[in-house]
């Protein structure tokens, strides 16, 4: 009994998740390389511990990170956990940039310094802690958007300050900044354009499927099968028909339709987007309470009026959920377009894989992941707000 009474307050003082995070973080800090240094782009890296990179902040930085992991070990208020983890993440982001600059000999344009496994593991542990703090705070949609804006401002500020300029991925960016922005544009055009087209086509098709149950099975069946075709195959299969259309239909090539380029990727993403759009429209419309629809009929509304003024507005949150699914999926799938000459950030990912140049892969993958996250957070908040608006 005494032992149990003695143990329970101790157990209550420690946060179980904090124990995992602190163990992972301290292991990464003291036993894993913080940076990897390479004499040129493609040779294997030399590991550098955090104390071997003077610019990373030396022992004060290590002490600060140790204290942060120590704080996370204990059971504290969610806001304290979030604050500690965010501050540590910010410190880590600055330390990795300054550390990289400090180990680079001046004027050496061949050497490449990348973040090492220690940095990534600490970043992962701290991101988990921050996510845990956020999840426990149970923020509303507007507050979540505020956090998103704060994170974006911090990242843009670090990028603008030039702290990261000596990191390998940023070196890759500097040598192809024009191409980066061009491909980013293409990527956004592919992802958003295909979603836009899918909304314009999918919502009316969904309305037809809702009104005519006989059509529904056939349409959803066909769209379901489209989803099972692997993305690289669908992208590839569209090259030939697109080339034919570009060559044979007047005006098509003026619109940029050709076998190589954006057109096959755009059509493939559109095809993948249709199923979630159509099925969410149908589910949303079916979820409208019968009373609402009956009341509208009683007021003498025509079918079209009921659809436009009652059914669609009430189904909107579910349709918006469909848009969220499709947009996040498209931002990821548009990476594959890089494989078939369709452009987008995938170009850097696949070039990087081919050259085994990881920083180049990161230059393509990190913006794509960041955009998918951002889109998911914004649209999730939008879905929640629109549900509240209806309720």
Partner 1 sequence: MRIVLVLRLIVLALLVAFIIAPQGFAPLFAPLTRFDAPPIYTQTSILSLTLSHLGIVAVATLAATVIAVGFAILVTRPFGEEFLPLSRAVANIGQTFPPVAVLALAVPVLGFGTGPTLVALFLYGLLPIFENALTALTGLSPAVREAARGSGMTGWQRLVQVELPLAFPVILAGIRLSAVISLSTATIGSTVAARTLGEVIIAGLLSGNTAFVLQGGLVVGALAVLIHDGFVAFESLVTRRTGGAARDFETSVS
The residues of the shown chain that bind partner 1, judged by CB under 8 A, are: 15-17, 128, 131-132, 134-136, 225, 228-234, 236-237, 239-240, 328, 331-333, 335-336, 339-340, 346, 349-350, 352-353, 356, 358, 361-362, 364-365, 368-369, 372-373, 375-376
- Contact indicator for 39, 110 with CB cutoff of 8 Å: yes
- Min dist CB 314 to partner 1, Å, is 25
Q: Which of 269, 267, 274 shows the shortest CA–CA distance to 222?
A: 274
CB of 296 to partner 1, least distance (A): 33
All residues at 6 or more sequence positions from 183 whose CB lies less than 8 Å from its CB, including other chains: 343, 344, 345, 347, 348, 364
For the CB of residue 325, give the shortest distance to partner 1 in the complex, in Å: 10
CA dist list (Å): 18 to 55, 136, 137: 29, 14, 16
Query: Which of 33, 55 has the CB closer to partner 1?
Result: 33
Q: How far is the CB of 10 from partner 1 (least distance, A)?
A: 15
Residue 93 is encoded by which pair of tokens? 């982001």
Question: Closer to partner 1 at the Cβ: 18 or 317?
Answer: 18
Q: 171: how many CB neighbours lie within 10 A of its CB?
A: 23
d(CA 313, CA 322): 15
Q: Which residue has the tokens 């570009």?
A: 246
Q: Which among 198, 141, 189 has a CA at the least distance from the CA of 326?
A: 198
- How far is it, in rounded angstroms, from Cα 309 to Cα 166? 56
If the CB atoms of residues 62 and 383 are measured against partner 1, the closer one turns out to be: 383
Q: How many CA atoms lie within 13 A of 222 on its CB side?
A: 9
Are 113 and 37 within 8 A, CB to CB? yes
Euclidean distance between CA atoms 364 and 149, whole angstroms:
22
Please state the closest distance from residue 57 (CB atom) to partner 1, in A.
26
Query: Which of 301, 101, 131 is CA-nearest to residue 139?
Result: 131
* Minimum CB–partner distance for residue 333 and partner 1 (Å): 7
**Measuring CA to CA, which residue among 269, 370, 293 is closest to residue 277?**
269
Of 225 and 255, nearer to partner 1 (C-beta) is: 225
Radius of gyration of the chain (CA): 26
Q: How near is the Cβ of 224 to partner 1 at its closest, in Å?
A: 8
Phi-psi region of 97 (alpha: psi -120 to 50; beta: other; left: phi over 0): alpha
Instruction: Report the nearest approach of partner 1 to the CB of residue 117 (Å).
Output: 8
CB of 228 to partner 1, least distance (A): 4
301 vs 376, beta carbon nearer partner 1: 376
């Amino acid at each position: 009994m005494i032992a149990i009474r003695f143990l329970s307050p101790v157990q209550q003082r420690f946060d179980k998740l904090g124990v995992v995070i602190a163990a992972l973080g301290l292991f990464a800090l003291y036993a894993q390389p913080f940076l990897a240094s390479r004499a040129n782009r493609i040779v294997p890296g030399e590991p550098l511990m955090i104390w071997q990179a003077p610019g990373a902040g030396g022992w004060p930085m290590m002490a600060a990170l140790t204290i942060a992991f120590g704080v996370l070990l204990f059971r504290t208020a969610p806001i304290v956990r979030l604050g500690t983890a965010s501050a540590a993440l910010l410190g880590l982001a600055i330390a990795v940039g300054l550390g990289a600059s400090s180990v680079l000999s001046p004027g050496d344009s061949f050497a490449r310094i990348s973040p090492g496994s220690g940095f990534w593991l600490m970043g992962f542990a701290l991101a988990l802690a921050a996510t845990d703090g956020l999840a426990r705070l149970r923020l509303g949609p507007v507050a979540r958007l505020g956090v998103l804006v704060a994170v974006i401002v911090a990242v843009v500020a670090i990028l603008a300050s030039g702290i990261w300029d000596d990191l390998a991925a940023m070196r890759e960016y500097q040598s192809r900044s024009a191409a980066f922005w061009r491909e980013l544009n293409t990527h956004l055009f592919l992802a958003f354009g295909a979603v836009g087209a899918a909304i314009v086509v999918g919502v009316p098709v969904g309305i037809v499927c809702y009104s005519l149950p006989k059509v529904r099975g056939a349409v959803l069946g066909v769209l379901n099968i489209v989803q099972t075709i692997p993305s690289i195959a669908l992208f590839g299969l569209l090259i030939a028909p697109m080339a034919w259309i570009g060559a044979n239909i007047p005006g098509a090539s003026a619109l940029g339709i050709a076998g190589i380029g954006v057109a096959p990727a755009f059509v493939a993403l559109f095809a993948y987007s249709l199923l979630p759009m159509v099925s969410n429209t149908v589910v949303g419309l079916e979820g409208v309470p019968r009373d609402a629809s009956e009341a509208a009929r009683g007021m003498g509304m025509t079918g079209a009026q009921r659809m436009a003024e009652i059914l669609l507005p009430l189904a909107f949150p579910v349709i918006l959920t469909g848009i969220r699914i499709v947009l996040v999926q498209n931002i990821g799938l548009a990476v594959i377009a890089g494989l078939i000459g369709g452009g987008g950030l995938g170009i850097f990912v696949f070039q990087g894989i081919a050259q085994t140049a990881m920083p180049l892969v990161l230059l393509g993958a990190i913006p794509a992941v960041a955009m998918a996250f951002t889109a998911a957070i914004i649209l999730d908040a939008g879905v929640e707000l629109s549900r509240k608006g209806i309720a």
